[in-house]
Structure 1
Amino acid sequence: MQVDDIDRRILRQMQAEPGVARADLAERAGVTAASLWRRIERMREAGIIRAEEAVIDWRKLGWEIEVSVRFTLDKTQPGFFDEFLDAARKVPEVIEIQTFLGQVDVRLNVIARDMAHYQEIYRQRILALPHIADTDALMLISTLKDTAELPL
């Protein structure tokens, strides 16, 4: 699917203010409401717009700690990778899973209410994950840039 300047304007406006009413979005993008609806629907069908979702600030809900836990996996058993990922997906405090090529195989982003809670998660859930050969944890001190906006 070709994305034109009007589609880019729509996407920029959606990124800038995700909860904006469709009528206001159409006006800001310079199109009619019907045209806006058709274009958004076309971009959804093409997979350009995957979802419109609420972004919840977990810190405001009492989660204070964020730790990036990196894993090198034991690759000696068949199915090791899928088994690790399946188990990691079941840990509720894991908010992100990334896989890599290189020395580190997987990175989990883990949140906790405080250090005692993180210690509990780490000992009971993280270290219980299958096929771990090595692990390293990095505690987040500050986030300097966090955006999902694309330069459209």
Structure 2
Amino acid sequence: MLDGIDRRILRHYQADPSLSTSELAERCRITSGVCWRRIEKMQSTGVILAQEAVIDWGAMGYAVEVSLRVTLDKTQARAFDEFTAAARLVPEVIEIQTFLGRVDVRLSVIARDMRHYQEIYRDRILTLPHIADIEALMHIARVKSSEGLPV
């Protein structure tokens, strides 16, 4: 279980993962050694999974984001596995989520422009296995996006 000190470390760490251990310890009002040991423990137990660079794909020339809601042909026993394995191979698919209900899978797809999206859709998405139905939702604005947890 996480205690108050662990939660304080996580709050500051989420807000600024570039902090050094000594800076993090200072903000949490603990020693560097205690901070380092607690971070190591949270990493080894899987509480802290990774540090990663978040790249603004818009700055990289991608101007279009589309959410595709996919219903699979569930008469095929391996439809989910085969579809998700193939979807992982499409570089422009930046997120894959699976659901219970009418929609089975949601793909988040990015493209440089509408012409590029059309190519991706026709040549890569529509060729994915076991698609029974697909609905495209054009992304207009990101109102809230947060990886941080309320710790």
Shorter-normalised TM-score: what interval? Answer: over 0.9
Q: Identity, % of aligned pairs?
A: 63
Structure 1 residue 45, shift from structure 2 partner: 1.3
Superposed displacement of residue 113, structure 1: 0.4
Task: Give the corresponding residue for 1:67.
Answer: 66
1:96-107 pair list within 5 angstroms: 96-107=95-106
Give the C-alpha shift of residue 103 in structure 1: 0.2
**Cα distance, 1:76 vs structure 2:** 1.5
- Give, in whole Å, the separation in 2 of the partners of 1:9 and 1:103: 40
SS in 1 for 2:101: coil
CA distance in 2 between counterparts of 1:143 and 1:91 reads: 23
Please show how residues 126-141 of structure 1 align to structure 2 within 5 Å: 126-141=125-140
d(CA) in 1 for partners of 2:13 and 2:77? 44
Structure 1 position 78, deviation (Å): 2.2
Q: How does 1:34-53 map to 2 (within 5 A)?
A: 34-53=33-52
Aligned residue in 2 for 1:29? 28
For the residues of structure 1 that align with 2:135 and 2:12, how far apart are their CA atoms?
40
CA RMSD of aligned residues (A): 0.8
Distance in 2 (CA, whole Å) between partners of 1:116 and 1:7 is 48
Q: Matches of 1:80 and 1:142 in 2, distance apart?
A: 32
- What is the alpha-carbon distance in structure 2 between the residues aligned to residue 119 and residue 99 of structure 1? 24
- State the match for 1:86 in structure 2: 85
Unaligned runs of 5+ in 1: none
What is the distance in 1 between the residues matched to 2:11 and 2:91?
A: 32
CA displacement 1:44-90 (0-9 Å, x = unmatched): 11111011111111111111100000100001122111000100000
* CA distance, structure 2, for counterparts of residue 122 and residue 27 of structure 1: 50
Q: Residue 145 in 1 paired to residue 141 in 2?
A: no
Q: Give the count of matched residue pairs.
A: 151
Q: Distance in 2 between matches of 1:21 and 1:37?
A: 10
17-26 vs 133-142, which moves further: 17-26
Query: What corresponds to 2:75 in structure 1?
Result: 76
Stretches of structure 2 lacking an aligned partner (at least 5 in a row): none
> Once superposed, which parts of structure 1, at least 4 consecutive aligned residues long, lie more than 6 Å away?
none
TM-score, normalised on structure 2? Answer: 0.97
Give the TM-score normalised by the residue count of structure 1: 0.97
